[in-house]
Chain A
Amino acid sequence: MKKRVLIVDDFETTTYTVGTTLRMQGYEVFKANNGIDALKVLDANEIDLLVTDYEMPGMNGAELIEKMRERPKYKQIPALVLSSETSEQKRKKAMAAGITGWIQKPYKLDSFVKIIQKALTINEGI
């Protein structure tokens, strides 16, 4: 079965590029432009991986992941923040909120794909 990835970013450019990259890798891609919509997608589907921007209007990436973790089915589903935010404090806070990993932008395409693959297996066996 295709793994389902949800991409959340308020910038179309990111959801477009990341989304297309992942679709080409054989993943099923879901998109949302903000945290509220993302939660709706999460509730309506069985998502295998969340990739979200950090700075978004309304709800930031860490808050979204915190909300996601409140849902029993997403307790141990990997969730990545994809951000060029370099604040160590924010990253630590997000770690405490239950993010699986923080992908620092900029990144290269193939290492990005590798990270996604890794994220989809790192929770195996929990």
Chain B
Amino acid sequence: MKEFKKFRDKYIEDASELVAELEHDLLTLEHSPDDKSLNEKVFRTMHTLKGTSGMYGFEQIAEITHRLETIYDMVRSGDTKITNKTIDLTLSAVDYIKHLLQNPEDGETDISVFKNLMENIGEQVSEVEKDAPIQEVTGENFIDQNSTKTDDFVSYYIAFRPFENIYDRGVNPEMVLKELQNLGICKIVKYDEKKDLISDDTRKCFTSWDIFLSTKENINEVEDVFIFIPDEYRMIKIADENLFEYQDFLEKAEAFCRALPVSSNGISKDVIDEFLSTLKPKPVEEETGEKSETEEDNLISDEKQKLPDIKTATKEFVEQKTQSIRVASSKLDELINLVSELITKQAELQLLSEKRKDTHLTSISEDLGKMINNLKDNAFSVRLVPIESMIVGLRRLVRDLTADLNKEVQFVAQGMDTELDKNMIDTLSKPLMHILRNNIDHGIETPQERIKKGKPRKGRISMNAFRMQSHVYIQIEDDGAGIDLEKVRKKAIDKEFISESTDLSEKEIIALIFHPGFTTKEGVSEVSGRGVGMDVVRKSIEQIRGEIEIETKKDIGTVITIKLPLTLSIVDTLLVTIADNYYIIPLATIESCNRVTQAEIDKCRNNRIIIEGDMMPFVDLRQRFGITDKPLEKRRIIVVNHQDRLVGLIADKVVGQYQAVLKPVGEIFHAQDVISEVSILGDGNVALMIDLNKIFK
């Protein structure tokens, strides 16, 4: 507060100077009332006084100058003339302001002078303002800082209709929504998605929102959220209660908003009231008995009045149900970690119960296993985030790049509500950006080229996300020039990745793109050449156990598919042994397990073997890990599907299916890359996860 006093003193000093100046100017103005520049000066001084006074608690000065300023503004615009009466009034105001500056507390103890003065000014203003519309009283423009929370919920309906240029004003509508969500419980209905998704101009905002908000915050807090966009929303207070306590509110609100015409400018109070009257109250815990439909309808208004009692009874329960809460992601990581530990411990218990042949213990352990499994699924679902959270950044990239490169692109995103683990989303955004950059820089042609090729002038990039079984797929498709395979091949020869005589399939040529240090564009373009190539993209995707695939057709376009697992740290695997060590292989990649004898293996040339009629390359893990003692005669070959090819892995024994909780390998193992993670088995042994991408290199 000490600093505040310092400011206040400085203000009083400055304001006193301004007032003295004002007084002087007023006296001059009295003699030459038509002096425009002098009037301008008086107006500006008043303006400055008004602007600074409120800040330091001199609200009266702010109000007086605000009212007076109106008169001088009208003089300025030629709507009225300076009269002696005006000067008199202003001078008496100046006297009072001077007095206030010296005795600030007088403004509070005796407001009669102030009131009197305001009345006089008010009269004068209405006199000169007869023709002009009356201005708002300044009091309403104050931002109330007393954001006292109310005890009860109040619900609002908000129609949020950003102008198209909202991004260009430095306002991100998503941030506005985020702030609203911080105030209370929100139901947000997004509109006009079609237009938004296939927007012609990514720089513009074509989206609008309908929001139902139930909050305990003061209305000023809610209005403050829209402080920068006062013309782009409309808010109606719709109820003095928490609407989210109604059992069918969420569902109905969505349907209700969706049913509105797209161009609707929001909902009127009457329509809302009608909608609210259809809501069913949250059921009471005790059964109220069966009611027929019509009976229930008749009872609704009745029950609604009774609702407050019901609410208090079920309040706690209801809030837990509907409220979404924000949690630090570190806490979620910790939760997953704990669940992982639990899985490991349970495996230990399982082992123990089997050893002791204690049926009671076994049944407890199995039940516990099921529960932990549910807990695991639940904990993971909490971490899921819709892909949409990345989309703003991507849209922005497309917009900026197309402008920079003089290209025209329509960016379409679909399935953005598909969910992925938060960590994956974080890792994915960079590679996706790089892919889009490539699409726009290398793929999409300039409008002139496109017209020459008989394509629509505007290029199209679509991003599509969907879930299939235990994987999420993200596809990015463009209708650009496609990848010139011949060019890729030549480049690879130039860079000595392959030799002139190497005969490669289309797929193999495409795979060259992922080779470190590969780029076809002559000279590094500013856009794609930021030191990251497709090899880095692939690396980051493999880091989250994903796969990437490219399909391309000259002049038709390119499709890039990214396949991602649903979860990161708990994976179904096959547990195998080599010598006395345990290894695990992701179950999703395994095609079959077969017996094989050491004699058969020894007969094979070029590490190729025929399994069930398919010839495939194989890796003998024994050899690979440098184990030299004599192998067993009977061994196992695990056939995995690696990048669309069948490949064999030869192990000693197959133990069985195992749900592995993965932990990163310690730092001292970083020199190798065949083992990507480790998992601790129930008996305390360590199983090593084989990284298929590395072992088949």
Cα distance, A118 to B3, chains bound together (Å): 23
The interface-forming segment of A13-21, A27-35, A38-46 is A13-21
A78 beta carbon closer than 8 Å to chain B? yes
Select which of B59, B136, B172, B227 is within 8 A of A124 by beta carbon: B172
Contacts A110-B145, A126-B396 given; indicate if A105 touches B172 (C-beta within 8 A). no
Contacts A17-B10, A121-B175 given; indicate if A86 touches B52 (C-beta within 8 A). no
Cα distance, A85 to B47, chains bound together (Å): 8
Contacts of A110 in B (CB 8 A): 145
Contacts of B176 in A (CB 8 A): 122
CB B433 to nearest CB in A, in angstroms, measures 14
Contacts of A98 in B (CB 8 A): 165, 168-170
Beta-carbon contact of B47 and A55 below 8 Å: yes
B525 beta carbon closer than 8 Å to chain A? no
Cα distance, A122 to B176, chains bound together (Å): 7
Beta-carbon contact of B224 and A106 below 8 Å: no
Beta-carbon contact of A108 and B170 below 8 Å: no
Beta-carbon contact of B169 and A100 below 8 Å: yes
B665 beta carbon closer than 8 Å to chain A? no
Contacts A78-B170, A84-B66, A118-B228 given; indicate if A111 touches B143 (C-beta within 8 A). yes
CB A101 to nearest CB in B, in angstroms, measures 3
Cα distance, A121 to B59, chains bound together (Å): 29
Contacts A21-B7, A100-B169 given; indicate if A122 touches B228 (C-beta within 8 A). yes
Interface residues of B in 1-52 (CB under 8 A from A): 3-4, 7, 10-11, 14, 18, 44, 47-48, 50-52
Contacts of B167 in A (CB 8 A): 76, 126
Beta-carbon contact of A106 and B54 below 8 Å: yes
Contacts of B144 in A (CB 8 A): 111
Complex interface bits, A58-78 against B, C-beta within 8 A gives 1, otherwise 0: 000000000001000001111
Interface residues of B in 210-230 (CB under 8 A from A): 224, 227-230
Select which of B44, B138, B145 is within 8 A of A55 by beta carbon: B44
B56 beta carbon closer than 8 Å to chain A? yes
B69 beta carbon closer than 8 Å to chain A? yes
Select which of A21, A84, A100, A112 is within 8 A of B228 by beta carbon: A100
Beta-carbon contact of B142 and A108 below 8 Å: yes
Cα distance, A80 to B228, chains bound together (Å): 9
Contacts A13-B18, A17-B10, A106-B142 given; indicate if A122 touches B55 (C-beta within 8 A). no
Beta-carbon contact of B171 and A122 below 8 Å: yes
Beta-carbon contact of B163 and A95 below 8 Å: yes
Contacts of B230 in A (CB 8 A): 102
Cα distance, A20 to B224, chains bound together (Å): 24
A36 beta carbon closer than 8 Å to chain B? no
Contacts of B393 in A (CB 8 A): 125
Beta-carbon contact of A17 and B163 below 8 Å: no
Select which of A55, A92, A105, A122 is within 8 A of B231 by beta carbon: A92
Contacts A108-B55, A115-B227 given; indicate if A125 touches B66 (C-beta within 8 A). no
A51 beta carbon closer than 8 Å to chain B? no
Interface residues of B in 42-99 (CB under 8 A from A): 44, 47-48, 50-56, 59, 62, 66, 69
Cα distance, A92 to B229, chains bound together (Å): 11
Query: How many A-B pairs with Cβ below 8 Å?
Result: 132
A24 beta carbon closer than 8 Å to chain B? yes
Most chain-B Cβ atoms within 10 A of its Cβ — which of A55, A77, A95, A124?
Answer: A95
Beta-carbon contact of A69 and B18 below 8 Å: no
Cα distance, A79 to B171, chains bound together (Å): 10
Cα distance, A62 to B165, chains bound together (Å): 15
Contacts of A79 in B (CB 8 A): 169-170
Nearest B residue to A24, CB-CB: B3
Contacts of A84 in B (CB 8 A): 47, 50-51, 66, 69
Beta-carbon contact of B169 and A106 below 8 Å: no
B320 beta carbon closer than 8 Å to chain A? no
B364 beta carbon closer than 8 Å to chain A? no
CB A35 to nearest CB in B, in angstroms, measures 16
CB A124 to nearest CB in B, in angstroms, measures 6
Beta-carbon contact of B172 and A125 below 8 Å: yes
B135 beta carbon closer than 8 Å to chain A? yes
Complex interface bits, B164-194 against A, C-beta within 8 A gives 1, otherwise 0: 0101111110111000000000000000000
Complex interface bits, B132-152 against A, C-beta within 8 A gives 1, otherwise 0: 000110100111110000000
Contacts of A85 in B (CB 8 A): 47
A5 beta carbon closer than 8 Å to chain B? no
Beta-carbon contact of A96 and B11 below 8 Å: no
Beta-carbon contact of B170 and A76 below 8 Å: yes
Beta-carbon contact of B141 and A104 below 8 Å: yes
Nearest B residue to A99, CB-CB: B169
Contacts of B47 in A (CB 8 A): 55, 84-85, 105
Beta-carbon contact of B175 and A123 below 8 Å: yes
CB B286 to nearest CB in A, in angstroms, measures 47
A8 beta carbon closer than 8 Å to chain B? no
Cα distance, A105 to B227, chains bound together (Å): 14
Cα distance, A118 to B66, chains bound together (Å): 26
B392 beta carbon closer than 8 Å to chain A? yes
Beta-carbon contact of A107 and B55 below 8 Å: yes
Contacts A21-B7, A84-B69, A100-B170 given; indicate if A122 touches B145 (C-beta within 8 A). no
Contacts of B135 in A (CB 8 A): 86
Contacts of A24 in B (CB 8 A): 3
CB A113 to nearest CB in B, in angstroms, measures 10
Can you list 9 A-B contacts with CB-CB less than 8 angstroms, sorted by A residue number? A17-B11, A17-B52, A78-B171, A80-B228, A96-B165, A101-B229, A102-B228, A107-B55, A121-B175
- Interface residues of chain A, those whose CB is within 8 Å of chain B, are 11, 13-14, 16-17, 20-21, 24, 55, 69, 75-80, 82-86, 92, 95-96, 98-102, 104-112, 114-115, 118-119, 121-126
Beyond contacts A79-B169, A105-B51, A105-B54: 5 other A-B pairs, Cβ-Cβ < 8 A, are A76-B167, A106-B142, A107-B142, A123-B170, A126-B392
- Interface residues of chain B, those whose CB is within 8 Å of chain A, are 3-4, 7, 10-11, 14, 18, 44, 47-48, 50-56, 59, 62, 66, 69, 135-136, 138, 141-145, 163, 165, 167-172, 174-176, 224, 227-231, 392-393, 396
